[in-house]
Homo-oligomer: A and B are copies of this chain.
């Protein structure tokens, strides 16, 4: 066996989400091929931004998320996902509190700009 010993605890997303309340403050729950796997609670409107070097993965666990894009919007319900291609400007909006699974390369600023990005916490 060439890899490191596995941590053998399942990652329970509802339990992770129950451990914090802040909005737009992603929590890293696992690593995957140089990416952060994160949960986040969102409500309201984020900022328009794009990521020039990475796609942006959104999966709705609870609530309802609209991803505004210049060419049209997509609205996601629980059990639905969407990948915003790299370079595509978008603005996430949630009228009610919405819980998401996100995947981004480790270290990616969530606004596409380190100056305005939320800090990612590991939990």
Most buried by B among A33, A77, A79, A88: A33
A9-B74 contact in complex given A32-B55, A33-B55, A61-B79, C-beta closer than 8 Å: yes
Measuring CB to CB, which residues of chain A are less than 8 angstroms from any residue of chain B? 1-6, 8-14, 29-33, 35, 37, 50, 52, 54-55, 57, 59, 61, 69-77, 79-89, 101, 103, 105
Task: Count identical subunits in the complex.
Answer: 2
Task: List, in ascending order, chain B residues with CB within 8 A of A52's CB.
Answer: 2
Q: Are A88 and B3 in contact (CB under 8 A)?
A: yes
Which 5 pairs from chain A and chain B are nearest by CB? A3-B87, A2-B87, A3-B88, A10-B80, A3-B85
Are A33 and B35 within 8 A (Cβ)? Answer: yes
